[in-house]
A and B are shown apart, each in its own frame.
Chain A
């Protein structure tokens, strides 16, 4: 039960981590209209220099500003609609899903870099490769075509294959020049310590942005991911309860048999002067001790079962299906202490309830009938 929960938890956690690393970060700030119309006209009113000044001076774990616009990428063979990300590669490290060390060619080196990094899959689709040129085309704030030729300097890999087709990285300054937007950006991204608790990062960002942009948490930016987390928390509880209810039939049966096999002994204890309430307590305590031993062994086994696969299970054989749900092709089980505690508490509480019936029956034996039972 704990092992399966770890697998499910890992799957959802990975989905959320992938989703967060797919650019939302933990907290983002945008122009108030950006989410309804993510076009070039809805840029953050404050300049990039102002934002940089405020955030550089603050104690924020990781942050970055980006230009993010819809664009069309064209090679000599094909065209595709993509999301163009103008980034500062130094600040972007750790915020993005791209592993800089796992890029064919190289990743961007600075905001002024004139190269472009595209996904491996997109390169295949466009029939292009490192060193070849592509053209990126979008709109400037005057609704004029803004385009520019770039040389492909790197091909990135992503756990979620659809990311490789969806995103194109270019230098922030280069992108700003191409789009003729001066020193402005589309979004500000902040990363906190834990995606489950982003209030500190959110409050800090609100304070630093100071009304210059709308600030939202990742689960507001991607309600699907947010609801996945909530559903998972509820699901883990329901899963543990349902599994235990199924197991409880076996448990009750075991306890009833354990009591039944000791009818004479229990009758003797009653005959010798043990009070029924003490018999009740004794059976319950024995049941809880059995459960406790089972829980210790079970939890240890679950931990041991997770260890060999904690570096991930390759599920790329069903990668396309996983991709559809925004999941990566490597599943990392996640054994949370809170899940182990929840499972143990549920088993103890329900085990206690399950032991009440046989314990009550034992305490109500007539001693003389129980003693003479064969």
Chain B
């Protein structure tokens, strides 16, 4: 089954007087349960492709399908619903809500989903344990290290067991040990829950965990290879 399918995506940004092609006729198909790394130098188009797949950005042309449903023509509300139910995001800058505790940050998505209070508290505690943050649920982001914050962000992304997790440079602010721990967690979720991961990175250590490596350059896919994961 196909988790993600992009057909001939184009996206151009205007920077001053210059037009920059972030996506240049990109087509890609990712199967359910895939573990894909998008690798590119800065400005190569990996984040733009990730945002297009997640419905955070609209391509100028082309079609995007998630779980068989075309999403590039959906309204803002429909896209929000899609992200809420089917996609988990892990951002490079963690993007936690600073006034909420770790547990409350994890609960947020479930709260929007309408999960009852008791159930979401229980799930949040469980998932925090799963990502190695047992006992830290009452801390606010400012009282946590970068690695801990990123784990909270991961917990938030996976707590409602989305079919697809999109991660943009998830290890950019982490040390190598923490990075390894995070990637192992991703692989475990991929192996045990058949969650599809699409990770934008230019960290070779991260790439080594991928089952499939897609290299991009100047908005185009220049290499798409399967590999034995670490």
Contact = CB atoms under 8 A, between A and B. Distances in A.
B112 A278 contact: yes
A163 B112 CA distance: 71
A275 interface: yes
B80 A276 contact: yes
Contact of A272 (B51, B76, B77, B84): B84
Main secondary structure of the interface of A (DSSP, over half): helix
Given A273-B83, A274-B112, A276-B80, A265 B89 contact: no
B91 A272 contact: no
Interface residues of B, number: 22
Interface of B: 51, 54, 56-57, 76-77, 80-85, 87, 89, 91, 95, 97, 108-109, 112-113, 156
A367 interface: yes
A193 B15 CA distance: 77
Q: Nearest 10 CB-CB pairs, A to B? A: A273-B84, A273-B83, A368-B56, A275-B80, A275-B77, A268-B95, A273-B80, A274-B112, A276-B76, A368-B57
B51 A273 contact: no
Contacts of B84: 272-274
A231 B186 CA distance: 73
Contacts of A30: none
Interface residues of A, number: 17
Interface in A185-235: none
B80 A268 contact: no
Given A278-B112, A368-B51, A368-B57, A273 B81 contact: yes
B80 A274 contact: yes
Given A264-B95, A371-B91, A272 B57 contact: no
A271 interface: yes
Contacts of B91: 371
Contacts of B82: 273
A315 interface: no
Given A368-B51, A371-B95, A272 B89 contact: yes
A345 interface: no
A212 B77 CA distance: 76
Interface string A266-286: 001111111111100000000
Interface string A315-343: 00000000000000000000000000000
B95 A270 contact: no
B109 A273 contact: yes
Main secondary structure of the interface of B (DSSP, over half): helix
Contact of B80 (A264, A265, A270): A270
Given A265-B97, A271-B89, A272-B89, A367 B56 contact: yes
Interface in A242-272: 264-265, 268-272
B157 to A, nearest CB: 9
B84 to A, nearest CB: 3
Contacts of A271: 54, 56, 83, 89, 95
A277 B89 CA distance: 21
A276 to B, nearest CB: 5
B38 to A, nearest CB: 16
A278 B112 CA distance: 9
17 contacts: A270-B80, A271-B54, A271-B83, A272-B83, A272-B109, A272-B156, A273-B84, A273-B85, A273-B113, A274-B80, A274-B112, A275-B76, A275-B80, A275-B81, A276-B76, A276-B80, A368-B56
Contacts of B97: 265, 268
Contacts of A275: 76-77, 80-81
A278 B84 CA distance: 13
Nearest to B76: A276
B56 A272 contact: no
A6 B81 CA distance: 51
Contacts of B51: 368
A268 B157 CA distance: 12
